[in-house]
């Protein structure tokens, strides 16, 4: 089984550095790493180039022009560029436990996608990390909230998976078969700005009878503090999601398929 790790980012190169450092320490490396860049400037490209030279696996930079918050579109572009059986999605402001990939692969099962969460790092501890200080990250460490999301236990994870009901997935910590993403046409690019693109993807997967396996007590990740994104498009995105509920959608019109043909021609990435 091959796995593509897709890391979403936008103009926070120091956070991406911390994220990629945690990827380089993984007990099991992904087959490839793709940086899904929602229009960052040249400083992010420099970070990607630095890690591409030291990575044990291929690391590629997938970029599009900055035209506002278009996370759905850049994730689709990265998924289209991926070459593996299985896709793990994370955000570039997260620091991954060294067994994060290993844990996700343990939960991967045909007919299901994996949905996880993350612990939160407080603002003071985040600043220390950004300043280059050595800050321990664990369930007992200072400056960690949502501690129940970073307690690691294989036995509890198995029990929780068996008992937990489905919930709205978070694409900051998600694993899914690439074939299943093709089936539902990936993320709906009608969602721009913050909100509901993850939830709506989960709805279409559910409508296609693709189940959810909740990964808790494994697949641990720590989220750096930042201010909340603007909610300007919240109502519009909510209405789009409710339309998908009413229409029992299984595929979106503006999705992954729009990126498959151009990338197959190996078109060069534009310079920043």
Q: What is the pLDDT of residue 268?
A: 44
CA proximity to 241, closest of 186, 191, 194, 193: 191
- Which of the two residues, 262 and 201, has the higher pLDDT score? 201
261 in a structural domain: no
Does 266 fall in a domain? Answer: no
Residue 116 counted as domain residue: yes
- What is the pLDDT, as a whole number, of residue 271? 42
Q: Which residue is associated with the tokens 């009878």?
A: 209
Among the listed residues 51, 58, 109, 54, the one whose alpha carbon sits nearest the alpha carbon of residue 82? 58
Rounded CA gap, 44 and 61, in Å? 9
Residue 185 has pLDDT above 50, yes or no: yes
In a domain, 105, yes or no: yes
| pLDDT score at 228 | 80
pLDDT tens digits for 190-243?
998 888 999 999 999 999 999 999 999 999 999 999 988 777 889 999 999 999
How confident is residue 78, by pLDDT bands cut at 50, 70 and 90?
very high
H or E segment to which residue 90 belongs = strand 86-91
Instruction: Give domain status of residue 270, yes or no.
Output: no
Taking residues 39-57, report their average pLDDT: 97
Three-state secondary structure call for residue 158: helix
C-alpha triplet 26, 259, 257: angle, nearest 5°: 105
CB 37 within 8 A of CB 135: no
Sign of the C-alpha dihedral, residues 217, 22, 31, 37?
Answer: positive
Tally of domains in the chain = 1
**56/81 Cα distance (integer angstroms):** 19
Give pLDDT tens digits for 157-181: 999 998 888 888 988 999 999 999 9
**221 found inside a domain:** yes
Which pLDDT value is given to residue 262? Answer: 55
Taking the alpha carbons of 96, 97, 99, 105 in that order, is the dihedral positive or negative? negative
Residue 198 backbone phi and psi in degrees, to 5:
-70, -45
**DSSP output for 175-216:** EEEHHHHHHHTSS-TT--SSSSHHHHHHHHHHHTT-EEEE--
Task: Identify the pLDDT of residue 193.
Answer: 85
Q: What is the pLDDT of residue 232?
A: 80
Q: For the chain, give the number of residues.
A: 272
Residue with tokens 């220390």: 128
Q: What is the CATH number of the domain that holds 168?
A: 3.90.550.10
Could you tell me if residue 263 is inside a domain? no
Asked whether residue 44 is domain-assigned, the answer is yes
- Write out the residue range of the structural domain in which residue 116 sits: 3-256
Cα–Cα separations (whole angstroms), residue 25 to 1, 100, 104, 241, 244: 20, 10, 15, 38, 40
Q: What is the pLDDT of residues 16-30, one digit of tens each?
A: 999 999 999 999 999
């Amino acid at each position: 089984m091959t796995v593509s790790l897709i890391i979403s980012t936008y103009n926070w190169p120091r956070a991406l550095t911390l994220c990629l450092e945690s990827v380089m320490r993984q007990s099991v490396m992904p087959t490839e790493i793709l940086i899904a860049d929602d229009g960052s400037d040249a400083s992010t490209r420099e970070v990607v180039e630095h890690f591409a030279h030291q990575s044990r696996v291929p690391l590629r930079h997938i970029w599009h022009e900055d035209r506002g918050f278009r996370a759905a579109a850049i994730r689709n572009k990265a998924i289209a560029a991926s070459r593996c059986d299985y896709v793990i999605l994370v955000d570039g402001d997260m620091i991954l436990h060294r067994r994060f990939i290993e844990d996700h692969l343990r939960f991967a099962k045909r007919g299901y996608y994996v949905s996880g969460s993350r612990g939160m790092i407080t603002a003071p501890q985040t600043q220390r990390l950004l300043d280059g200080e050595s800050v321990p990250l664990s369930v007992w460490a200072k400056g960690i909230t949502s501690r129940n999301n970073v307690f690691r236990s294989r036995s509890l994870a198995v029990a929780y998976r068996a008992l937990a009901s489905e919930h709205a997935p978070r694409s900051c910590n998600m694993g899914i078969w690439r074939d299943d993403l093709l089936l539902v046409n990936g993320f709906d690019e009608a969602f721009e700005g913050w909100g509901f693109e993850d939830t709506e993807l989960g709805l279409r997967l559910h409508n296609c009878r693709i189940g959810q396996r909740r990964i808790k007590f494994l697949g641990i990740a720590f989220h750096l503090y930042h201010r909340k994104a603007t909610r300007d498009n919240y109502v519009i995105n909510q209405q789009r999601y409710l339309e998908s509920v009413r229409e029992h959608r299984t595929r979106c019109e503006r999705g992954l398929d729009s990126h498959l043909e151009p990338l197959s021609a190996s078109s060069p990435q534009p310079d920043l």
